[in-house]
Structure 1
Amino acid sequence: MSRLAKQCVSGIKQNILPGLALQAIACVVVGVYYFAPDARWVYDWVAYVKVEYGYLYSMVTTGIFGGLLPFLYLAAVGKVPKGDFWPVGLFFLGAWSWKGIEIDFLYRMQAVMFGSDTEFWTVVKKVAFDQVVFCPLWSAPVTALLYRWKDCGFSWRRFRASLDYEFFEMEVLGVLVAIWVVWIPGTAFIYSMPSPLQLPLFQLVLCFYVLLVSVLGKKRT
């Protein structure tokens, strides 16, 4: 088996269990929304806050759910060296705060392109655009580059020196496969929700995903 194939298989193995767990969580959240009317007030309140604060909500809450909480867990279990606490913490918080704005914009743009309803073919179009266009062309390579910069100790010299063909072939593809394993079914659940609730569900899945990968993933050099 080639190194590229091994990288893809490794990405699938590492993410299959977190993916299944998170898809179950997303299924429950969507199911409660549609089949438990008594709980609808919670969703309505979250939707109201999301609409009221817009991109500020997206930035702050994604920074917390995708960056701060997972980082605090990693620090608590000793996976963050003491000398790197503040740089790595600010990286997690800043990167995922920006990611919140980015994903919110993606969802708004798709509502304009494909509509804001939750019909079957609307959901299919949004999932396809998200996973076949947005992820390969932007999300996977940018995420891989950001985390490579972090792994290089935020040194631009070491970062530039590490950007070879193997990085783009192995690391970027590995990130993309990991994204697909979790987020193809995950985004189907997300786009099944009304527009104001799509980002909150994304954040919930994201938080558990990062935590589960942190717990189940092997320590890398």
Structure 2
Amino acid sequence: MSTPHSSRRAWHPLIAPAMAALSTYWPAILLIQFAALTVVLAYYFIDGTAGLFATIAGWKQSGGLYFAAGSTIVSGGILPELIKRRFRPPEVSAPGIGELCHQFTMWATLGIVVDLMYRLQSLYFGNGTDPATLLTKVFVDQFIFTPLISLPCITLWFALREVHYAPRAFVAYLRFRTLLNRVLPLWTTSLCFWPVMLCIVFSLPAPLQFPLFLLGNAAFSILMIFIVRHQTHCE
């Protein structure tokens, strides 16, 4: 029979990485979230911003998947790295060129996948901003797409670099328990951050949802990279 203390011990390894990341980078995270909320408020309450939002939507629609790939590299790789250089503790090493290139490739691919996911959600659930539509989209994103597709792929991508791109070592890494132990802390971190952020994202028209996702992605990538690098150094 489990006790409250044993339950806390069982959950602690899942929550601890997120808490460590937040305690290190919370000023940057709050700043980005505040910026995202400001964008939504400006869209609905400041008439003078209509031209700016129309321009951003035009960039997204004309750029298509190329825009998705390039902008996600900026939001997930370049911008967070610049922010982390300001807030990173001295004992935490900065990534090298090889690690950054590896991350940028992942962000480009993820940007395309997320853009296609948003299009699919709009196709099936519509573009309404009513609570039922918002909650449905958030549920599908956080309880289907994230734990079953995006986070396992991200985990495997970082594992590929950890084993120095050796095929046999990578195949040996493909064990369910190993993947589960790596994905669960990322998923619990996602659940602490993305549900509210996605409600903000999906409250905008479809052409503006992905551009706003980029702000959230910049914040979450700081947490995720911190956790992944911590997992690597602890193994």
Q: TM-score range by the shorter chain?
A: 0.7 to 0.9
Which residue matches 1:64?
A: 74
CA RMSD of aligned residues (A): 2.9
| CA displacement at 1:74 relative to structure 2 | 6.4
Residues 43-122 of structure 1 aligned to structure 2 (within 5 Å): 43-71=53-81, 78-81=93-96, 85=97, 87-122=98-133
1:99-157 CA-partner distances (Å, limit 9, x unpaired): 11100000000001100122221111111111111112111211111122223333333
Instruction: For 2:83 and 2:31, locate their aligned partners in 1 and report how far apart those are by CA, in whole Å.
Output: 19
The one-letter code sitting in structure 2 at the alignment partner of 1:13 is: M
Matched, 1:7 2:13: yes
**Which stretch has the larger CA shift, 121-130 or 143-152?**
143-152
Distance 2:174 2:10 in 1: 17
> Secondary structure of the equivalent of 1:34?
helix
Is the contact made by 2:106 and 2:154 (CA closer than 8 Å) also made in structure 1?
A: no
Matched position secondary structure for 1:192: coil
Q: 1:22 to 1:180 in 2, by over 3 A?
A: farther
Deviation at 1:72, TM superposition (A): 6.1
Please give the secondary structure, in 2, of the residue aligned with 1:116.
coil
Tell me if structure 2 keeps the 8 A contact 1:131–1:184.
yes
Q: Taking structure 1 as the reference length, what is the TM-score of the superposition?
A: 0.84
Uncovered stretches (5+) of structure 2, i.e. residues with no partner = 1-5
Query: Alignment length, in residue pairs?
Result: 217
Q: Secondary structure at the match of 2:13?
A: helix
C-alpha separation in 2, matches of 1:219 and 1:211: 12
Q: What TM-score do you get using the length of structure 2 for normalisation?
A: 0.79
Distance 2:14 2:221 in 1: 19
